[in-house]
Amino acid sequence: MAEFAVSTVVEKLTSWITEEALLLEGVGDKVEQLRDELRWMQSFLKDVDAKQEKNERLRIWVSQIREVALDAEDVVETYIAEAASHSSWNIPAKLINLHQAGKKIEKIRSRVQNISRQKEHFGITGTAQEGREGTSASPNERLRWWRQTSPNIEEDDLVDLVEDTKASLTQLSSMDPCRRVVSIVGMGGLGKTTLAKKLYNHCDITKQFDCKAFVYVSKDYRRRDTLQRIIVAVSPDCNMEDLKKLEEEALISKLHELLKDRRYLVVLDDIWEKEVWDSMQSAFPSAEMGSKVMLTTRNKEVALYADARSEPIEPRFLTQDESLELFRKKALPGMDHMPCDLEKLGREMMAKCGGLPLAVVVLGGLLSTKRKTAEEWRSVLQNITWRLIDEDRVSAVLALSYNDLSFYLKSCFLHLGLFPEDSSISKTKMIHLWVVERFLPQQGEETAEGVAENCLNELINRCMVQVGTLTSLGRVKTIRMHDLLRDLSISKGKEESFLEINSGQEIESPTSQHTKCRRLAIHGEHDDPYVFLNPYAPYLRSLQFFNIGYSKFGFIFKDFKLLMVLDGVPMPSQALSAVGNLIQLRYLGVLIRTKKFKKVTLPESIGKLKNLQTLKVDYHVSFSVRFVCWCCIPNVIWKLKNLRHLLLVHGAGVMNFRLNNTLNNLRTLTNVGAGRWIEDGRLASMTGLRRLKIVLLEKGHLKSVLSSIERLHCLESLSLEFLVNQVFPTPISLSHFEHLHKLHLDGVIKRLPEPHEFPPNLIKFSLLNSDLEEDSIVKLQWLPNLKMLLLGYNSYNWTKLVCYSQGFPQLHILHLLSLEYLEELIVEEGAMMKLKNLKISRCPSLRKIPERFKLLTTYS
């Protein structure tokens, strides 16, 4: 898929021509010419990429284009980096550098032109015939063969998913006064078509409808062909030759007439675009009671577009036992059990399949042709990733979803492959990384983080990424990747020189192709002090460490001139002392491991990182105390004008600022200690802040904090944590924070503000150590938008908690945490009518809760 690499480079060159015009002065015209020549290649590759699979000459030619595009990116970006780091160059030095850069760009342009001539020399035209040497079929044609167009289904392909079948039958059997759409949504290979066929042939469904049709649509949708096949299915007397003579609009009218006054079921299998539904829906009469159109799709947005009132059915993955049963039917046909020595190996294989029915069926089919010995099966197990991802059918089905992504969504998808297998990936971290990597297009006035979240949601809706955990309010908190989709992202990423993974095992000498990768992830410890990274240095844009310590970490990042992301670096270490050399760095993640209280200071060289957007300091501690680390942020932080997120996790940071400088772009500031920087007006100047958490507050700080944040009109989340036994002064008014949705207060309050003094759009409110007066809690009941309330340790020290009638009208979640004196929760009729979850944690005296809440209650 060279088109991806070339598209990425063209976008970067276009951006640099505009944004780095001063630094490119003298070579800007050459860069623009190079961009235009690559753009021409890009337009050609849109047609060629899908046809190179069975054409060796075309594949070689395409790989040459990819390589020259990546080299072009390196030359131009290296020149920009050097020019930026030597702004005080004298005239002779600048002329020499210009001359050298110009020669390199001309050399690359010459290579582009030579590659273009090779296309003509080898007779490569990019036509459809070029991709069909011999009798080989295209990937989409092979998918058509594999997918049974008949609605019949083999019993061996079935696993009885009772919940999915029951939910589907309920929707299909409903007697709505108008036609409805029932959708089955899921990733490729999940069994959507199998479930649709099972429902189509179900005896209850067969009796309910007057006529039925089951047609395969696919990505190669052809409306005429689809209409003709539906017409023949619902009216077998129709002659196909006569139908071929009709215009498409006439076919629409004919199908509409055939379905009119009949209760019908039409299954449209494998729909990819909303436009398909737009072009077909007029053929289906809408006033026929109980009639249904059933869609299968990989994109939830398509399902909701077709019928927003119907909840899409999302089949679950198979359990280990269900996978093994389906695997047995395929691998050992005619046998009603699996020998013990093979069962153990089979279970290991099923773990890799991750409950994906297609992978189970393909693997079972493969082993049905092998000898039924442990040795033979063990050989397959040892190469199972290759067997599944490179096996024609699984690869084609999964790659179809990948190929349908825009190039910026492909970047996001490939990037997820850097994370270790079975990782729970933080949505926030993922968004910050995508922003600094500049994968994303500008979308009107949307912020970069907003665009990144939209892209993540699109990958979720396309079933390329799974939701891991949700926040208390139902928003995505973490994401996961299915093992086979992760394997696909790594396979495609390596092919594109997008990424490489080093597992921390025995180090092999990397090939020149591997060292040109843009992103490297290191999983686990190495005995070698990272000298193997040297060959990667000129090319890497991202270097991430996972699951490492710092005892042997001494590598100094001095030659990584293009590095934009450095994450997981242990501290203290020699490596971090040289971080100031990485002037292109946009994301820096520092990891501190400690068994005791520790004070660490970030190096002052951080002040050289003028492009830094995210600075994250994470603490991994071996015991639990309120703050185990102090992180001193040096008096150079003010130089980081592009900083958007300063994240101190599980620790407290000491801030120092120059009085005449501000961080206007800062959006996130967490776990920062209170101090003079607030009183001196530095906080008030951070007008772009969305999320703020200040710790170690004292009573004297609060007035300056509240007066400062009055100017923070964009603030959405606020957390204030006082030192032990410090008391919030009263009264407190927060009503001017119109955008504030989340509020966390940790400290003695006694009396809460009046309802009208709270933020008007407050959704989540958490209280700890507040020691509220008994009647003070009543004020919270009249907050009109409150959906979640957490009453934590020492926040409410009374035996009864009373919620009066009509109180908490929007509350969905109530969490009672470590309230040791609480004995009874009393909720009057009409209160908390929308409660969905009552969570009770460590409340030893609580014995009585309302009867209607017992099914909603969880204990921990």
In angstroms, the CA 689 to CA 808 distance is 29
Q: Is the pLDDT of residue 657 over 60?
A: no
pLDDT tens digits along 755-805: 999 999 999 999 999 999 888 889 999 999 999 999 999 999 999 999 999
What pLDDT score was predicted for residue 616? 93
Confidence of residue 659 (pLDDT cuts 50, 70, 90): very low
Q: Which residue has the higher pLDDT, 635 or 820?
A: 820
Confidence of residue 672 (pLDDT cuts 50, 70, 90): confident
Question: 657-661 — which CB contacts under 8 Å span 24+ positions?
Answer: 657/682
Which of 432-436, 531-535, 588-592, 763-767 is predicted least confidently? 531-535
- Tokens standing for residue 42: 């890009």
236 burial class (0-12, 13-18, 19+ CB within 10 angstroms)? Answer: exposed
Q: Is the pLDDT of residue 351 over 50?
A: yes
| Mean pLDDT of the 112-123 span | 74
| Domain parsing of the chain, residue ranges | 1-122, 162-306
Which of 455-464, 574-583, 667-676, 775-784 is predicted least confidently? 574-583
Q: Is the pLDDT of residue 195 over 60?
A: yes
Confidence of residue 314 (pLDDT cuts 50, 70, 90): very high
- Alpha helices, H only, 49-152: 56-85, 91-121, 139-146
- Tokens standing for residue 39: 């753009």
Q: Is the pLDDT of residue 515 over 90?
A: no
| Mean pLDDT of the 529-548 span | 81
Which of 71-85, 257-271, 744-758 is predicted least confidently? 71-85
| Count of alpha carbons within 13 angstroms of residue 397, beta-carbon side | 28
Confidence of residue 724 (pLDDT cuts 50, 70, 90): confident
Q: What percent of the chain has pLDDT over 90?
A: 38
What pLDDT score was predicted for residue 136? 44
CA torsion, ordered 286, 287, 293, 299, to nearest 10 deg:
40
Mean per-residue pLDDT over the chain, rounded? 83
User: Per this entry, what is the length of the chain?
Assistant: 860
Distances 830 to 7, 631, 826, 849 between C-alpha atoms, Å: 59, 49, 12, 15
Q: Is the pLDDT of residue 553 over 80?
A: no
What pLDDT score was predicted for residue 129? 40
What pLDDT score was predicted for residue 128? 39
Contact 52, 62 (CB under 8 A): yes
| Mean pLDDT of the 642-647 span | 93
What pLDDT score was predicted for residue 698? 80
Q: Is the pLDDT of residue 121 over 80?
A: no
* Residue type, position 669, single letter: L
Contacts of 855 (CB under 8 A, 6+ apart): none
What pLDDT score was predicted for residue 135? 39
- Tokens standing for residue 208: 């309910």
In angstroms, the CA 742 to CA 476 distance is 16
Contacts of 235 (CB under 8 A, 6+ apart): 211, 258
Q: Which residue has the higher pLDDT, 546 or 839?
A: 839
Q: Is the pLDDT of residue 575 over 90?
A: no
| Mean pLDDT of the 557-563 span | 81
| Mean pLDDT of the 197-211 span | 89
pLDDT tens digits along 599-637: 777 888 888 899 999 999 887 655 444 555 667 788 888
| Mean pLDDT of the 391-395 span | 66
Of 3.40.640.10, 3.40.50.300, 3.40.720.10, 2.40.50.140, the CATH number of 162-306 is 3.40.50.300
Contact 199, 169 (CB under 8 A): yes
Q: What secondary structure does DSSP assign to 728-752, as a single string? A: --S----TT-TT--EEEEESB-SSP
Confidence of residue 552 (pLDDT cuts 50, 70, 90): low
* Residue type, position 617, single letter: V
In angstroms, the CA 640 to CA 654 distance is 17
